[in-house]
């Protein structure tokens, strides 16, 4: 909630936290209270990372044609219906959706709502575009990933264990970074 919803942590001993833990436990239960066997989660469509840097201009066009109707021309969203993708009410810069590959995989699997038909390239470019917008900052990001060798290659903030620049960690290409880690 602190990252993806830019919210505040719930106190561990609060009724709200107890309710959240109970709900997650319910979802994780084998029969979820129904007696049915837990189903295998739906597999999202495969996403193959393009071997190039994302193109923000292409992403902007895709956003205007396929995303703005729900998320607003300025990425502001529609309160409690479609989330803001940038601006003061969006997820913060420490959220998983601020990582290009995470966002592109989600976009490929789920967007546009009711017609998830974007190509890998389109999902990659539009995710890079909406992630390029301003958003709330989360303090302490430099302390994320104490073992920097385990930091995801698309984490758009340093410090890094590798010699690649921030821009490449933000918009790719990611294959050279992945190869560098694989050879360590």
CATH number, position 105: 1.10.760.10
Question: In the beta sheet, which residues pair with residue 78?
Answer: 82
pLDDT tens digits, one per residue of 28-60: 775 555 555 555 566 667 899 999 999 999 999
Is residue 27 situated within a structural domain?
A: yes
Is residue 143 situated within a structural domain?
A: no
Q: Which residue in 76, 114, 96 sits closest to 152, CA to CA? A: 96
Are 28 and 65 within one domain? no
Give yes or no for residue 154 having a pLDDT over 90: yes
Is residue 147 situated within a structural domain?
A: no
Are 127 and 91 within one domain? yes
**Residue 79 binned pLDDT confidence (cut-offs 50, 70, 90):** confident
Domain span at residue 92?
A: 45-138+164-184
The structural domain count of the chain equals 2
pLDDT tens digits, one per residue of 102-139: 999 999 999 998 889 999 999 999 999 999 999 999 99
pLDDT tens digits, one per residue of 160-183: 999 999 999 999 999 999 999 999
pLDDT at res. 41: 60
Tell me the C-alpha distance between 148 and 161, whole Å. Answer: 5
The predicted model scores a pTM of: 0.82
CB 85 within 8 A of CB 130: yes
Reduced 3-state DSSP string for 39-103:
CCCCCCCCCCCCCCCCCHHHHHHHHHHHHHHHHCCCCCCECCCECCCCCCCCCCCCCHHHCHHHH
Average pLDDT of every residue of the chain: 89
pLDDT at res. 23: 75
H-type alpha helices, 29-162: 56-62, 68-71, 100-110, 120-131
pLDDT at res. 106: 94
pLDDT at res. 80: 77
pLDDT at res. 15: 83
pLDDT at res. 38: 57
Helices 120-131 + 100-110 axis angle, to 10: 130
């Amino acid at each position: 909630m602190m990252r993806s919803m830019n919210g505040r942590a719930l106190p561990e001993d609060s009724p709200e936290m107890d309710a959240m833990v109970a709900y997650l436990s319910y979802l994780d239960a084998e029969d979820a209270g129904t007696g049915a066997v837990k189903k295998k989660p739906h597999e999202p469509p495969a996403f193959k990372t393009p071997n190039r840097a994302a193109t923000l201009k292409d992403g902007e066009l895709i956003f205007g044609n396929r995303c703005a109707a729900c998320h607003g021309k300025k990425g502001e969203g529609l309160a409690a219906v479609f989330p803001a993708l940038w601006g003061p009410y969006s997820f913060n810069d420490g959220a998983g959706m601020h990582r290009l590959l995470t966002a592109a995989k989600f976009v490929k699997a789920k967007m546009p709502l009711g017609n998830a038909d974007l190509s890998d390239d389109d999902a990659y470019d539009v995710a890079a575009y909406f992630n390029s917008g301003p958003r709330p900052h989360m303090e302490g990001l430099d302390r994320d990933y104490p073992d920097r060798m385990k930091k995801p290659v698309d984490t758009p903030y340093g410090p890094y264990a590798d010699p690649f620049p921030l821009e490449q960690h933000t918009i790719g290409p990611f294959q050279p970074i992945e190869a560098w880690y694989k050879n360590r």
